[in-house]
Amino acid sequence: MGQIRTYKINEVISFRKTTEAFGGLSNMAAGYSLNVNGILVPTAEHLYQACRFPNNPEIQEAIILEASPMNAKLVSRKNTELSRKDWNDVRVKIMKWCLKIKLSQNWEKFSKILLETEDKPIVEFTKKDKMWGATQEGDNYVGINALGRLLMGIREDYVKKNWLPYCIESAPINNFLLLSEPIDIVCNDAYMTEMQYSESEELELV
């Protein structure tokens, strides 16, 4: 995903601030909490940053407990020397996994905003981050735009097919831990409720 892309500004859906029309696409957006291994995580940004430190549960906990995603990111930045050694190699896979969790557990809101982007390119407009987003150069946005491209992929794979992924498999990487516990399949509340209902029915039948 390392190729630089150029997008015409007037032909894309862009987002920068969470208060904008498409601000819900941002990892920083509030109102899209996540539940992984029974741990409530405020935003996708909190989860992504926590995944940087599988061998340091105390840092993960500090990140998750931060009230704002920006503060969570700052905690991460202060501890970059303790990042997993393969972080640059696995970070896109982890981001894709985080976005799938966000979609699965916030289907109604998140799928709606993704549908509203129609078939237009999605771009995270930034001042300097050409990896996850793109910067403005004249009438264009220029950058790798990894986050925008991942969002477009999820739009195609799930949202446009109206396919709610009830359960998300673990990211395909080694040493994938949250607060010292392995992260396996993560299912949303609807699936868990259905499973509990099925189990209670089975108990009544015994």
DSSP class of residue 11 equals: G
pLDDT over 50 (residue 50):
yes
Q: Which of 200, 191, 115 is nearest to 154 (CA)?
A: 115
What's the topology of domain 5-205? Tetracycline Repressor; domain 2 (1.10.357)
User: Could you tell me which residue, 174 or 193, shows the higher pLDDT?
Assistant: 174
C-alpha of 53 from chain center: 16
Give DSSP secondary structure letters for 117-174: TTTS-EEEB-SS-TTTSBEEETTEEEE--HHHHHHHHHIIIIITTT---SEEPPPSSS
pLDDT over 60 (residue 53):
yes
pLDDT tens track for 177-189: 999 999 999 999 8
- Nearest-angstrom CA–CA distance, 147 and 99: 9
- Nearest-angstrom CA–CA distance, 136 and 114: 23
The domain ranges of the chain are 5-205
pTM for this predicted structure? 0.92
C-alpha of 84 from chain center: 18
pLDDT over 80 (residue 206):
no
- Nearest-angstrom CA–CA distance, 168 and 143: 29
Structure confidence at residue 202 as a pLDDT band (50, 70, 90) = very low
Structure confidence at residue 204 as a pLDDT band (50, 70, 90) = very low
Percent of the chain with pLDDT over 90: 90
pLDDT tens track for 143-171: 999 999 999 999 999 999 999 999 999 99
- Nearest-angstrom CA–CA distance, 14 and 153: 16
Q: Which of 192, 186, 18 is nearest to 104 (CA)?
A: 186
Q: What is the mean pLDDT of residues 1-11?
A: 94
